[in-house]
Structure 1
Amino acid sequence: MIELATKPGSHGEADKHVKYCIYIKQERAPMQLPIHHTASLALACTLALGNVAWAAPGDLPPIRLGMIEGMSGPFANAGEAVERNIRFAVEQVNARGGVRLPDGKHLLSLTVFDNKQGVEDALLQLKQLTDQKIPFVLEGNSSAVAGALVEAINKHNVRSPDNRVLFLNYSAVDPVLTNEKCSFWHFRFDANADMRMQALVDVIKSDGKAKSVYLIGQDYSFGQQVAKAARRQLQAARPDIRIVGDELHPIGKVKDFAPYIAKIRASGADTVITGNWGNDLTLLVKAAKEAGLRLKFYTFYGNSLGAPAAIGEAGVGTVRAVAEWHPNAVDGNAASDAFYRSFRQRYPQPKDDYLFLRMDVMIDMLAAAIEKAGSTDAIAVARALEGARYKSKFHEASMRASDHQLIQPLYVAVMQRLADGGIRFDNEGSGYGFKTERYLAPAATAAASTCRMQRP
């Protein structure tokens, strides 16, 4: 465990180095951060800080966040990307002094628990988290895991009213989590699968060349929901489009997607819709590229985690992705560009270029809710989050009180060459980035909910 802190408001030439050492109590679950790593980081921070005044955070304990995520296994790169984003957001809150409570300002502290992308491991990690009395649970890279966590947290909060926890979900987008399985203890900061599909279909319906669609996805709750949403929404928007394939594959286990690409080619599809993420997306699009299969890909996550580099030239004008924001989303907006550049400065390696605005929004909204509640008590913070609004110079969002679903803009963006001059930033140093093709204002993304929430 490392306890390094800067004094808020310190100035001087060394300040540009201070921000790299600003998060307090960097913590990992046992065996995830070897001792030599922590020692190296401590030494690096000591050298970087030099003569700049620094100190431990004092007598006020930090506000602890526990992230349960797949930090090992086939989707470890996705877990690592999330951790970078959460730490970046935590650092920004801590840089302005932390979160104000009645007794003063408290810094945020993040502990990472590895669930190996499995449900049972996630539940074991949740037990460790609650045993440590960490009040806030963060998870997102699996709707199956999120569903299990919601059920477990519902039960835990009834059994242990003096140790309740709140679940902040940044990526698990199965619609049931804010519909029939909605929970007072769960808040989702990503658009759900129906909302994301609605944005993609909004573009497809105006594409006169789209005649036949192949659906391919991961075989678990999220992939199944994506396929259902695609069928339902395409039928309503473009009943003339034929669905020529609907396939689910094992999640995280396919090493070669060439047989799937062969089936897509044989189907005569001109368009592919996929909710694949992580290596399952990268390997899918890489196989299409290697097979010379040029068709339109409508994806949930095609603008990140190795996908642009894997797709390369074949994706220009053909690969689309939907997101709440992307680096080229807001033309001529200095604040948006500065936000992206600050992340790239914090994580300069091209492979680390994977910025989610929604995670920054989540941490900001949590900090504001804690301050409004004047407490880290789960019920008080939940009530402060309900109906809360977020607004920056380039983004706005609101937390719908009825189902705890964040309502925010969505952008459908198409892949472009950086060299062509139509975009300012590429992805992962690949020379390819994304340009907004369709913008949907928050009101246009707000799908109806069937949630009947039970409140304490």
Structure 2
Amino acid sequence: MKVKKIGLIASAAAMLVGVPGTYAQESYKLAYIDPLSGPFANVGEIMLNHLQFAVEDINAKGGVLGGTRLELLQFDSKLSAQESQSVLQAAIDQGAKAVVTGGSGSSVVTSLVQAVERWNRRNPGKELLVLNHSSIDPELTGKACSFWHFQTEASTTMKMQALANVIGTLSEVQKIYLLNQDYAHGRQWASYGRKMVAQVRPDIQFTGEVYHPIGQVKDFAPYVGNVAQTGATALITGNWGQDLTLLMRAAGDAGRDWHFFNHSAGSMPGTVTAMSMIQKGKLTWVAEWHPGQANTDAAHQLAAAYQERTGKPFLAPRIDLTPRLLAAAINKAGSVQTVQVARALETMEFDSVIGRVTMRAQDHQLLLPQVVNTVAPVDGELVKTGWEGTNYGFRTDAVFSGQSLAQPSTCQMIRPQA
């Protein structure tokens, strides 16, 4: 049943019973499934706040299809594939039409995509979408691609290509150690790091490769000692959350002046604070935008509005962008029917606060810009504003378009019949 028809029925019912006004149209429900407890709860809360802000803004501007509101349901993944599948069923039972996820790691997101695939096959007409704002496993838009999955974050290969391009210009980087969390993303970050950096700098020596349990290591001193013994002065690490800040602090406590290369460090709470306390080494990361970035007025205006409404710092335009892309696709489709929305979304071009972005239809990978930047002290020129109440902020090193970083895809998309 189309939402406009629902609205007309509600209006008629209101007049029949003599109640002034009309009933609200049925909402379009999105299920947020990411960590809201455990060691990465702070990351999950940040992502949830960004999504909630965007949903509220969309609703304040009329919602979709001329009045249908978006409704964000909240579920705790507990960083577990099994738990995520359990709450997915709860989301379905509550009427969700789309899942928004990404902060639980690639293994959890992959599990959710597979579960949604099974559900959609068995329940035609009740299909769901998966909107992935942060898991960057290239397999999700490669061999494991799904018509129902859309990735609004740059993939591991795109991010590593941007970092490799910059590492290629740093003559002081001679020996690199690969230290990563022991799960799919950590292993991919190491693998693509070794491969792509070697392509631009075949002279660089990789001195070691180690993986550790995700979210379980409390003291990284032994790992730091092992890295030091190899003579490495730079680390490629896909660590995030407390696994990154604890690693950096252990290196600082040991007096190591190392250069860390990471994918999302500055958008994780506490990372800049840790660097300001250590005051040793460098931390270079890559994202679609960073606070203080020049010539990004639209992003700064959105960040200011977010700060004013929530009292919290704005970090990730791509997360804010995710429900806005969905809303645009619903309006483009003229329907909330999932297959029609997916077809509209897979050909989307959208003017966002970080510029025009394109959803690549072949594999549902969003092509968005990537900015390589380094956490550095405020100097009034390259770094004008501190972050997290410190005198450290972000220095832009290089900006790359999504198209220039796009990698060939192995996706063989299976689409539902028209």
Same fold (TM over 0.5): yes
SS in 1 for 2:75: strand
When residues 288 and 155 of structure 1 are mapped into structure 2, their CA distance, relative to the original with a 3 A threshold, is same
8 Å contact kept, 1:416–1:422: no
Matches of 1:246 and 1:354, distance apart in 2: 34
Aligned to 2:319, which of 359, 380, 383? 359
Separation in structure 2 between the aligned mates of residue 151 and residue 301 of structure 1, nearest angstrom:
26
The residue aligned with 2:150 is: 187
Does the 8 Å CA contact 2:252/2:280 hold for their aligned counterparts?
Answer: no
Q: What is the aligned partner in structure 2 of residue 276 from structure 1?
A: 239
Residue 157, structure 1, aligned to residue 114, structure 2: no
Q: Could you tell me which of 61, 80, 88 is aligned with 1:118? A: 80
Q: CA deviation at 1:354?
A: 5.0
Corresponding residue number in structure 2 for 1:378: 338
- Give the equivalent residue in structure 1 for 2:17: none
- Aligned equivalent of 2:361, options 397, 401, 418: 401
Candidates 8, 25, 36, aligned match of 1:71:
36
Q: Does 1:83 align with 2:43?
A: no
- Residue 378 of structure 2 corresponds to residue 418 of structure 1: yes
CA distance in 1, matches of 2:291, 2:197: 29
Structure 1 contact 316–414 (Cα < 8 Å) conserved: no
Report the Cα distance in structure 2 between the residues aligned to 1:57 and 1:334, rounded to whole angstroms. Answer: 39
Shift of 1:332: 4.3
The correspondence for 2:291, drawn from 311, 327, 330, is 327
1:419 Cα offset (Å): 5.2
For the pair 1:143 / 2:103, whether they are aligned, the reply is no
Specify the code of the residue in structure 2 equivalent to 1:85: H
2:282 equivalent in structure 1: 318
- 2:129 and 2:340 map into 1 onto residues whose CA distance is 10
SS of the equivalent of 1:345 reads: helix
SS of the equivalent of 2:265 reads: coil
- Mapped to 1, the partners of 2:67 and 2:54 lie a distance apart of 17
**Which of 216, 236, 256 is the equivalent residue of 1:293?**
256
Q: Is 2:256–2:281's contact at 8 Å kept on the other side of the alignment?
A: no
User: Which one of 77, 85, 91 corresponds to residue 129 of structure 1?
Assistant: 91
CA distance in 1, matches of 2:96, 2:135: 21
Which residue number corresponds to residue 399 of structure 2? 439
2:310 is equivalent to residue 347 of structure 1 = yes
Aligned partners of 1:56 and 1:81: how far apart in 2? 37
Aligned pair in 2 of structure 1 residues 387, 222: CA closer, same or farther (>3 Å)?
A: same
Which secondary structure state, in structure 1, belongs to the residue aligned with residue 226 of structure 2?
helix
Tell me by how many angstroms 1:423 deviates: 2.7
Summarize the Cα distance change of 1:282–1:158 in structure 2 as closer, same or farther, 3 Å threshold: same
Secondary structure, aligned partner of 1:282: helix
Extract unaligned runs of 5+ from structure 2: 1-19
Does the residue aligned with 1:319 lie in a helix, a strand or coil? strand
| Structure 2 residue 273 is matched with structure 1 residue 309 | yes
Q: 1:228 to 1:79 in 2, by over 3 A?
A: same
User: What TM-score do you get using the length of structure 2 for normalisation?
Assistant: 0.91
**Per-residue deviation, residues 394-421 of structure 1 (Å, max 9, x unmatched):** 4221000000000011000011223544
Q: Which amino acid aligns with 1:115?
A: S
1:317/1:264 Cα in 2 relative to 1: closer, same or farther (>3 Å)? closer
Alpha-carbon separation, structure 1, partners of 2:176 and 2:314: 28
- Give matches, 1:256-275, under 5 Å: 256-275=219-238
CA-based RMSD of the aligned residues comes to: 1.8
User: What amino acid maps onto 1:399 in structure 2?
Assistant: M
Secondary structure of residue in 2 paired with 1:338: helix
1:242 CA drift (Å) = 0.6
TM-superposed deviation, 1:190: 0.5
State the alpha-carbon separation in 1 of the partners of residues 27 and 384 from structure 2. Answer: 38
Q: Deviation at 1:319?
A: 1.2
Whether 1:255 aligns to 2:224 is no
What letter matches 2:327 in structure 1?
A
| Aligned amino acid, residue 72 of structure 2 | L
| Aligned-partner Cα distance in 1 for 2:284–2:181 | 19
Residues 63-111 of structure 1: CA deviation (Å, up to 9, x unaligned): 11101111111111111111011111112211212112xxx31111111
Aligned partners of 1:156 and 1:444: how far apart in 2?
Answer: 36
- Distance of aligned partners of 1:316 and 1:388 in 2 relative to their CA distance in 1, 3 Å threshold: farther
* Deviation of 1:422 (Å): 2.9
1:222-247 deviation per Cα after TM superposition (whole angstroms, max 9, x unaligned): 10111110111122111111111111
Question: 2:202 matched to which residue of 1?
Answer: 239
Identity in percent: 39
Which aligned pairs between 1:23-62 and structure 2 lie closer than 5 A? 58-62=23-27
Which amino acid in structure 2 is aligned with residue 119 of structure 1? A
Q: Which residue identity lines up with residue 116 of structure 1 in the other structure?
A: K
What secondary structure is seen at the aligned counterpart in 2 of 1:422?
Answer: coil
How many residues are paired up? 395
Q: Which runs of 5+ in 1 are unaligned?
A: 1-54
Q: Do the aligned partners of residues 270 and 89 (structure 1) sit closer, same or farther apart at CA in structure 2, a change above 3 Å counting? A: same
The whole-number CA distance in structure 1 between the counterparts of 2:85 and 2:205 is 41
- Rounded to whole Å, the distance in 1 between the matches of 2:328 and 2:224 is 47
Deviates more, 1:150-159 or 1:284-293: 284-293
CA 1:419–1:320: 2 relative to 1, 3 Å: same
The 2-side partners of 1:346 and 1:248 are apart by: 40
Q: How far apart, CA to CA, are the structure 2 residues paired with 1:133 and 1:188?
A: 22
Q: Would you say 1:97 and 2:62 are equivalent positions?
A: yes
